[in-house]
Each structure stands twice: as structure tokens, then as C-alpha cells.
């Protein structure tokens, strides 16, 4: 039975799976089959050793990993998994608190507050504690409290250890926040772990019950545990000491989530009799990719020396590419993706593009859209769909077109202006009753005899907003565009609003990236830049859903890529200040984490790896020339090439609008046959009402400014028509027909 069950494991994996007694540390390199070992180890305990599944606790770091492990075990054990405790730390602790939390005052019906709930409660707690949110942003207080909880520091202890006035402020809010959580019978995500530790320490009889039940404890991704999670592991393993932890210090990349790399090293200190097993055979990558990965990570000091090796083929050299700027970098990626898929050796879904920060996706997204190559953004929001980007664009759209009530409704209370939903509904009803747009109603309400049925305070708030937008309208006609951009961001209060959000820094980076998009329009005369800027942004937004299929190239941050693998990987932005990030320059520990992040990216690649950098990069509102990343310097030259494919010619990229132009010129029969294979099928599906104008898809037209073009689509909009035209020299433009001044050619 044992041979039958473990026959597919290599010798190192088998030893780790068969070691069943005492503490065990399994150091597993990327692609070494660690999840397979954990799964087979559990199956071995049940089928061969005879351990009751009820006595096993297995901890994963994501619900997805837990589901996959359960599915594998169900196949191996044929239904013996249902009595096993298998899940994330948070899910397991929630179950413990449901059963036994009353011992520390947590009722069974408690609710778990998510990040939004937590933010609202902390804002109220700060207000109750008389804390000025402008001087002490709630986002910073939130981070401080979360950090305190991850270090098992209570409000009382935090106050005792306060080192400065900010700590005293945090202590006041922390105490009030905890009281409000109790009043709401609620816990936050940090509490799920922390309260379970408190429960076990304050009630040893409850801890003893769980210790007796769980004879075997297994923990995956141990390098990502924080202090509270490690304390839980030690408490639960305190009786039988049959605890197996699996991890790789070289893949610890979540210190910003309070993950503590030292837990891997402390395990040997706390369990001096621990058996250590190394899983070093990699089944994922080619030999050259592994050699590059080993070169990158070698300079780190806080690591275990895991010597990766493989029986896979040597593979192609890793390709190093230098572009002039981020646009050319993105074009290189798209060109190579088209070449690889054109060779029929790879599919688009085989390819991933990885980057350090979310803001870097913008140039990539625009290139994939422009050249009609399908893509998908993983575990994130597309650049032009991110809330802060949409909010600021809504301001600009309302300034450009005050009749745009959709944009007005999006931002009328963002940031908050003391306008409740009831007040806004009343104003909408008052506007409808008089046949006014909502913006017109805001103007009229201040002078009308029969004012809206609102409080004087609400009417004043509406008037302030109206005057704000009216002032921006005047500014847009007089200021250079970037100066106007900055004026809106500042005077609307939106910049200050973002600064106090928990994720404000990243969101401000995205706003700075939007400013980069605005830069090319700065040379236009005041009053003439806003319209083309919004036109270009609207076009990208409309085409952002282009070919949202499973076959798209994956765009993903390096942090999100952990645990994934792809036949082809591009890592972009390998420059000093980007990867490694500039915030790590003065912190050796953070620099080591940046190196681990690069290592994680490299080891996601199975067959082909491309490392790209730009000579000049416009990012976060500025343009800089950066040195090549120090991580590139660590790679031996014999493992790399600067030629994409010396034996194949470079294919020219064809922009999407040209593809569509060529498509529109074909006979109707050819068009119909091509629709299912079009790079942008959404543009050929426009439903035109019978009252459509005398323009149809494929018509040749001329515009007094944009020149010659071809009609791509028409769409009824109220009493007008929106027409999309692909101009030979100016690309795609979206126009209102009544203003377009088009003529057929």
C-alpha cells in the first residue's frame, strides 16, 4: 500500500512524506512539488499509518489552495476528507471562535468586518476620540492598529509602550475602536487570529481540547506567517509536537502584510529536534531559467541555501531587452507575443507579463488594445476601471459637459460633502419636475422661489459643489492642461481624500499615471485640450473589454503571480527605482525582499523568460532615466541573449485601427466570414436602429481636422448618433454626428 501510494514521489519527496513523528521543516524550492508532498503526506497518514482524518489539521494561505488540496485528497482517500480540518488560518480561527469565543466575550453570532466596514468604524472611532483626520489620517491609524494586532499588542499595552504623540493618538483610537467592535459584536480580520490566541492563553482547558484533538498539524507557505500565526502553530502543536511546516525563505514577499521571514529560522530554535528536508528538484523550468534565478537570489543573506536543479532541458537563453521608454517596452512585449503565437508553439494564455506596481499596467494595456491582442488583468482592476481613475475622469467629464448627470452623480459626494442619499434623491426629483438637468437644478435651486424641500445645510452644500464645478469650467478655458489637471485634483479635495485612505499611496500612484496620460495634450491651447483628452480616454475605456476571453495574455503584478506558472514570462521594468523599488534603497531588509520578488517572477517561467527595461520611463507623473536593475547585473552573460530570435525576421506590428480599416474595406461576404475572428469583435456588433443616419460601417468619410477615415460603427445616443471612425493618420475617434462635420468620399 505504501509503495502504491508514494510511488510517483522522488526520493526527497518520499522522505518528507514518510516522516510522521515530531517537528518537521520542509524547505521546498519553487516548482519542487511541495503541494503534492503535503497532499501525499496527509494521504499517507490516513491510509498507511491509520490516523483518523478528524485528528489532522492542515493550514493553507488561500481558500483556493484549500479547495484544490481537498479535491486532491478526495481523489486519494475516496471520501475520508470530510472530517479533516483544512482551510486558511482565518477560516479555522473563525470556526474556533464560533464554538468557544463566548469564553472571552465574543458571541456566537459575531460578524466579521471587512476593510470597508473597518474603515467606517475607525473613522467614527477617530471622531469620537477628537482626532483631526487631516492631521492624523485614518489610513495611517488603521495601519498602526493592524500592525499592533499582528504583534499581539492590546490597546492597553500599546498605550504603555507609546513612544511619541502619534502613538498616543493611535492608542486613543485603538481603545475606542475595540469598544465599538464589542458593541457591534464584531471582529476584524486581524481579530480572528489574535482573539483565538487570547482564547487559548486565557483558557488552557480549551486549548488542551484542541491540542488533544489535533495529533498532526501541517502548515503550507510557512514563510508567509506572521507572529500571531506562528504563535497559533506553537500552541496547537504543544502537546503532540507532530507539526510539519513547508516553506521557502527565498519566496517570502509579503512583509507589508506583516509576514515574518524569521519564523522559518525561529522554527529550528523553538523545535531544536526538528527534522529538515530539502526539496530541490524543480519540475517547472528549464535549466537556464533556474540558473538565472539562482544568480539573482544568491546575494541575499537571510536565506536557506536551497540548490535548485532539474532534469528538464537546458532551454533557450533568457532574453534581455532594452527599450527607449515604457511604450516601446510594451510594443516589444506585444510583438513577441504575436510572434510566439504565430509560430503555433504557444497560445496567448501561455503568456504572462509581470511588473512591480499596478500603475505599470497602463502602458501595457494600451499597447495590447492598440494592436488588438486580447489580454486579461489578474486579481486587479484594469487601469481605466480603477475607482480613483474613474472618479477623476468623472470630474473632467462633468466640467466638459455639465449635462452629464451620470458623472455628476458619481462625484457629487466624493469626497464627502455632507449630502445624504435622501437629499440627492429630492434634488433629482425637483430637477425632473422642472425639466432641468441635475447640474441646471443645482444652479436654479439657489435662486428659485419654490426651493427644493431640503435643509438649508443641504442647499448650501449643493451650491458649493455647483460653484466648484463652475469655477473649474472657467479654469479649463484659461489654464494649460496639466496646470488645470492639478487644480481639479487639489481644489476638488480628491487628492487630500486619497491621502487618508488605507491604500492611498497606490491610488495616488494611479492618479499620477493618469497625469502622464494627460501630458501629450498639454501643448494644446487652453480650452482645446480637455475634449481630445476625454476622447482618448473614452476610447481606451470602451475597448478595454476587447476580447475578454480565456485566450488572452495575462497581465499581473509580481506579488499576485506567487503560486502561478506560465510557459512564457515577461518581466518588465527592471530598472533601479522600479524593481527594486526606490523605497527599498535605504533598507537592506526591504532590498532583500525586492530581490526575492524578482526571484519569484523568474521562477514562474517554464520555457521562455524575457527581462525588459526602459532607458526612460514616465511613471507616477514624472519622466526619469534609470540605471539597469542591479538584479540584471547578477546574471551571468552566458545565460542570456539580447536577440529575440536571430533566425526569424521581426514582424511589424499592425495597429488595431488599421486592422479594422482593412477589414472594413473587404467585400461584405468577407466581412461576415471574418467577424468571428476579428481582433475586436465588439466593434462589429453595434446594433443600429432603423433611424440610423446615412453612414454605415465601411463608409469612406472625410473630417476637416482628422482627414480621411472609415466608419467603424454608429450608435443612437438620445436625439443624436455617436459615430466611431478610424482615421488613417489620427487613429480611432468617437464623434457626435451632429457636430462631426463629416462628408462621404
**pLDDT tens-digit map of 249-282:** 889 888 877 778 888 899 999 999 999 999 999 9
Q: Element (H or E) spanning 353, and its range?
A: strand 351-355
R_g of the chain computed on alpha carbons: 30
Q: Residue 549: which pLDDT band, with cuts at 50, 70 and 90?
A: very low
Does residue 612 register a pLDDT over 80?
yes
* 32 annotated as belonging to a binding site for a ligand: yes
Confidence of residue 64 (pLDDT cuts 50, 70, 90): confident
Q: Which residues of 574-601 are buried (b: 16+ CB within 10 A; e: fewer)?
A: bbbbbbbbeebeeeeebbbbbbbbbbbb
pLDDT tens profile 465-494: 999 999 999 999 999 999 999 999 999 999
If you average pLDDT over each of 380-384, 670-674, 709-713, which comes out highest? 709-713
Who has greater pLDDT, 738 or 50? Answer: 50
Asked whether residue 28 is marked as a ligand-binding residue, the answer is yes
Q: Which residue has the higher pLDDT, 538 or 422?
A: 422
Q: Which three cell numbers stand for residue 376?
A: 486579461
Q: Over the chain, what is the mean pLDDT?
A: 85
What pTM does this model have?
Answer: 0.69
- DSSP of 9-37: S-HHHHHHHH--SS-EEEEE-TTS-HHHH
The helix/strand/coil state of 140 is helix
What pLDDT is recorded for position 610?
97
Q: Which residue has the higher pLDDT, 187 or 549?
A: 187
Residue 348, pLDDT > 90, answer yes
pLDDT of the residue at 653: 67
Residue 79 annotated in ligand binding: no
Place of cell 500592525: 147
pLDDT at 381: 58
Summary count for the chain: helices (H), strands (E)? 30, 22
Same fold, 11-101+193-279 and 292-380+546-641: yes
Residue 709 assigned ligand-binding role: no
> What's the fold here for domain 383-539?
PCRA; domain 4 (1.10.486)
**Per-residue pLDDT tens over the stretch 80-136:** 788 899 988 988 998 899 899 999 998 877 777 767 568 878 988 999 899 998 889
Q: Over range 563-567, report the average pLDDT.
A: 92
> Can you give the pLDDT at residue 43?
93
CB 218 within 8 A of CB 58: yes
Q: Which CATH class is domain 111-184?
A: mainly alpha
78 is in an annotated binding site: no
Query: Do β-strands 707-717 and 622-625 pair in parallel, antiparallel, or remain unpaired?
Result: unpaired
Domain ranges of the chain: 11-101+193-279, 111-184, 292-380+546-641, 383-539, 699-744
| Amino acid 651: pLDDT | 56
Residue 311: band (very low, low, confident or very high) from pLDDT cuts 50, 70, 90:
very high
Predicted confidence band of residue 717 (pLDDT cuts 50, 70, 90): low
pLDDT at site 692: 46
Topology annotation, domain 11-101+193-279: Rossmann fold (3.40.50)
Close Cβ partners of 69 (under 8 Å, ≥ 6 residues apart): 35, 38, 39, 58, 60, 86
**Pick from 692, 704, 705, 702: which is nearest to 725 by CA?**
702
Q: What per-residue confidence (pLDDT) applies to 277?
A: 96
Q: Which residue has the higher pLDDT, 650 or 700?
A: 700
Local confidence band at 716 (pLDDT 50, 70, 90 cut-offs): low
- Tell me if 660 sits within 8 A of 680, measured CB to CB: yes
Identify whether the C-beta of residue 323 lies closer than 8 Å to the C-beta of residue 332. Answer: yes
* Number of neighbours of residue 247 by Cβ within 10 angstroms: 24
Quick check: 152 and 197 in contact, CB under 8 A? yes
- Position 695 scores a pLDDT of 78
Q: At 380, is the pLDDT very low, low, confident or very high (cuts 50, 70, 90)?
A: low
> Which residues are known to be catalytic?
34-35, 220-221, 251, 604
Check the annotation: does 420 bind a ligand.
no
Average pLDDT for 574-583: 94
The yes-or-no verdict on residue 683 having pLDDT over 60 is no
pLDDT at 690: 31
3-state per-residue secondary structure call for 403-415: CCHHHHHHHCCCC
CA–CA–CA angle 296, 302, 306 (5° rounding): 60
Name the least confident of 251-255, 376-380, 683-687.
Answer: 683-687
Please tell me which of 147-156, 661-670, 685-694, 704-713 the model is most confident about, judged by mean pLDDT.
147-156
CATH architecture of 292-380+546-641: 3-Layer(aba) Sandwich (3.40)
Q: What percent of the chain has pLDDT over 70?
A: 87
Amino acid at each position: 500500500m505504501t509503495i502504491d501510494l508514494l510511488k510517483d514521489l522522488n526520493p526527497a519527496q518520499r522522505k518528507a512524506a514518510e516522516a510522521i513523528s515530531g517537528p518537521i521543516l520542509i524547505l521546498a524550492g519553487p516548482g519542487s512539488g511541495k503541494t503534492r508532498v503535503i497532499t501525499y503526506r496527509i494521504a499517507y497518514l490516513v491510509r498507511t499509518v491509520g490516523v483518523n482524518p478528524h485528528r489532522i489539521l492542515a493550514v493553507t494561505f488561500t481558500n483556493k489552495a484549500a479547495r484544490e488540496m481537498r479535491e486532491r485528497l478526495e481523489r486519494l482517500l475516496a471520501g475520508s476528507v470530510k472530517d479533516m480540518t483544512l482551510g486558511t488560518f482565518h477560516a479555522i480561527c473563525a470556526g474556533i471562535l464560533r464554538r468557544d469565543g463566548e469564553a472571552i466575550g465574543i458571541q456566537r453570532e459575531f460578524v466579521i468586518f471587512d476593510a470597508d466596514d473597518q474603515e467606517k468604524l475607525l473613522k467614527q472611532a477617530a471622531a469620537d476620540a477628537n482626532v483631526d483626520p487631516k492631521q492624523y489620517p485614518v489610513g495611517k491609524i488603521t495601519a498602526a492598529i493592524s500592525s499592533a494586532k499582528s504583534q499581539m499588542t492590546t490597546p492597553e499595552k500599546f498605550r504603555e509602550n507609546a513612544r511619541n504623540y502619534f502613538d498616543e493618538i493611535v492608542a486613543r483610537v485603538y481603545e475606542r475602536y475595540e469598544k465599538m467592535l464589542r458593541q457591534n459584536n464584531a471582529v476584524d480580520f486581524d481579530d480572528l487570529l489574535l482573539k483565538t490566541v487570547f482564547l487559548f492563553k486565557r483558557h488552557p482547558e480549551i486549548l488542551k481540547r484542541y491540542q488533544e484533538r489535533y495529533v498532526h498539524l501541517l502548515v503550507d507557505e510557512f514563510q508567509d506567517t506572521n507572529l500571531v500565526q506562528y504563535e497559533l502553530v506553537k500552541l496547537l502543536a504543544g502537546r503532540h509536537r507532530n507539526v510539519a511546516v513547508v516553506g521557502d525563505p527565498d519566496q517570502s514577499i509579503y512583509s507589508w502584510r506583516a509576514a515574518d521571514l524569521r519564523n522559518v529560522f525561529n522554527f529550528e530554535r523553538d523545535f531544536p529536534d526538528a527534522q529538515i528536508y530539502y526539496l530541490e528538484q524543480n519540475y517547472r523550468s528549464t535549466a537556464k531559467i533556474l540558473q538565472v534565478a539562482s544568480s539573482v537570489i544568491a546575494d541575499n543573506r537571510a536565506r536557506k541555501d536551497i540548490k535548485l536543479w532539474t532534469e528538464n532541458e537546458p532551454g533557450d537563453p533568457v532574453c534581455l531587452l532594452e527599450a527607449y521608454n515604457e511604450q516601446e517596452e510594451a510594443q516589444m512585449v506585444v510583438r513577441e507575443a504575436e510572434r510566439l503565437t504565430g509560430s503555433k508553439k504557444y497560445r496567448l494564455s501561455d503568456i504572462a507579463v509581470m511588473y512591480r506596481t499596478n500603475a505599470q499596467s497602463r502602458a501595457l494595456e494600451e499597447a495590447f488594445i492598440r494592436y488588438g491582442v486580447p489580454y486579461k488583468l489578474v486579481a486587479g482592476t484594469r487601469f481605466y476601471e480603477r475607482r480613483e481613475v474613474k472618479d477623476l475622469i468623472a470630474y473632467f467629464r462633468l466640467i466638459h459637459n455639465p449635462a452629464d448627470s451620470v458623472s455628476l452623480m458619481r462625484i457629487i459626494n466624493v469626497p464627502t460633502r455632507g449630502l445624504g442619499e435622501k437629499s440627492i434623491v429630492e434634488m433629482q426629483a425637483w430637477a425632473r419636475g422642472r425639466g432641468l438637468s441635475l447640474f441646471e437644478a443645482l444652479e436654479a435651486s439657489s435662486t428659485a422661489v419654490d426651493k427644493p424641500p431640503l435643509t438649508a445645510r443641504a442647499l448650501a452644500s449643493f451650491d458649493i459643489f455647483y460653484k466648484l464645478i463652475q469655477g473649474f469650467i472657467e479654469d479649463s478655458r484659461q489654464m494649460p492642461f496639466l496646470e488645470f489637471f492639478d487644480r481639479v485634483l487639489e481644489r476638488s479635495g480628491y487628492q487630500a481624500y486619497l491621502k487618508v485612505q488605507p491604500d492611498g499611496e497606490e491610488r495616488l500612484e494611479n492618479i499620477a499615471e493618469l497625469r502622464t496620460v494627460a501630458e501629450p495634450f498639454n501643448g494644446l491651447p487652453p480650452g482645446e485640450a480637455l475634449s481630445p483628452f476625454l476622447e482618448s480616454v473614452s476610447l481606451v475605456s470602451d475597448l478595454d473589454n476587447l476580447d475578454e476571453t480565456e485566450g488572452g495574455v495575462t497581465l499581473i503584478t509580481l506579488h499576485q503571480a506567487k503560486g502561478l506558472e506560465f510557459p512564457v514570462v515577461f518581466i518588465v521594468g527592471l530598472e533601479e527605482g522600479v524593481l527594486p523599488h526606490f523605497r527599498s534603497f535605504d533598507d537592506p531588509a526591504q532590498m532583500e525582499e525586492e530581490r526575492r520578488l524578482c526571484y519569484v517572477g523568474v521562477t514562474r517561467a517554464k520555457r521562455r523568460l524575457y527581462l525588459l527595461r526602459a532607458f526612460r520611463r514616465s511613471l507616477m507623473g514624472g519622466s526619469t532615466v534609470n540605471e539597469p536593475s542591479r538584479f540584471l547585473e547578477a546574471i551571468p552573460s552566458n545565460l542570456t541573449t539580447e536577440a529575440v530570435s536571430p533566425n526569424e525576421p521581426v514582424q511589424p506590428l499592425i495597429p488595431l485601427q488599421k486592422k479594422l480599416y482593412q477589414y472594413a474595406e473587404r467585400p461584405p461576404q468577407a466581412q461576415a466570414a471574418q467577424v468571428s475572428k476579428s481582433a475586436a469583435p465588439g466593434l462589429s456588433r453595434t446594433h443600429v436602429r432603423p433611424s440610423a443616419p446615412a453612414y454605415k460601417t465601411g463608409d469612406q468619410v472625410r473630417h476637416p481636422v482628422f482627414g480621411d477615415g472609415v466608419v467603424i460603427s454608429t450608435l443612437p445616443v438620445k436625439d443624436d448618433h455617436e459615430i466611431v471612425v478610424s482615421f488613417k493618420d489620427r487613429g480611432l475617434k468617437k464623434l457626435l454626428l451632429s457636430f462631426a462635420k463629416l462628408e462621404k468620399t
